[in-house]
């Protein structure tokens, strides 16, 4: 219930250091099982290509979850998130060999009342923006 980042210590424009998260097919299989989303475009190349995708793609919610992790690792409390929304602008393509990487960054966009701040997130994979309009409202200490 208590974030470790203090509201008084952040300003509009405060940057959260960017992080890189690897994604491979095994992660997507685990996510399919945990989430119940077994759409084969997330684990079988022929199924992805049959519907016009370049290869297997990550679940949008997997990518969104990495953004959530980025924010809660920063605030120090996963319960600090009061609002979180994203638009899935481009798929994260995950080849069989080598997988993909997700680069996530963020900065404080606005300070609200009641110790809340709006964090604007960026998420890229292979140079493509994979999330747009990604924002989390978090309550700081």
Partner 1 sequence: MALNRDFVGRAFPPSEPYEVSRVKIREFADAIGDHNPIYRDQEAAKAAGYPDVIAPPTFPIVVSFGGNALAAPGLGLNFAMVVHGEQRFEYSRPLRAGDVVTCTTTITEIKSIGSNEKLTAVTDVRTVEGEMICKSYNTIVERGA
- Binding mask of the shown chain, residues 67 to 106, with x at each position contacting partner 1 by CB under 8 A: -xx-xxx---xxx-xxxxxxxx--x---------------
Cα–Cα dist 36/19, whole Å: 27
Considering only residues 30 through 69, tell me which ones interact with partner 1, judged by CB under 8 A: 30-31, 33-37, 39, 51-52, 59-62, 64-66, 68-69
Task: Provide φ and ψ at 10, rounded to 5°.
Answer: -115, 155
Say whether 11 sits in a helix, a strand or coil: coil
User: With contacts defined by CB under 8 A, how many residues of the chain interact with partner 1?
Assistant: 40
Cα–Cα dist 12/132, whole Å: 19
**Of 7-15, 24-32, 105-113, 116-124: span binding partner 1 (CB under 8 A):** 24-32
CB of 17 or CB of 36, closer to partner 1: 36
CB of 13 or CB of 70, closer to partner 1: 70
**Strand (E) or helix (H) holding 23:** strand 15-23
């Amino acid at each position: 219930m208590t974030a470790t980042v203090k509201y008084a210590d952040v300003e509009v424009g405060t940057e959260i250091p960017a992080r890189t998260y690897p994604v491979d097919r095994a992660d997507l299989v685990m996510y399919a099982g945990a989430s119940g989303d077994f759409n084969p475009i997330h684990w079988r190349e022929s199924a992805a290509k049959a519907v016009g995708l370049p290869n297997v793609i990550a679940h949008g919610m997997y990518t969104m979850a990495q953004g959530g992790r980025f924010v809660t690792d920063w605030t120090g409390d996963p319960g600090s998130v009061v609002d979180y929304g994203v638009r899935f602008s481009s798929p994260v393509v995950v080849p069989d060999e080598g997988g993909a990487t997700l680069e996530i960054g963020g900065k404080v966009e606005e300070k609200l009342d009641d110790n809340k701040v709006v964090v604007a997130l960026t998420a890229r994979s292979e140079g493509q923006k994979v999330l747009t309009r990604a924002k989390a409202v978090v309550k700081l200490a």
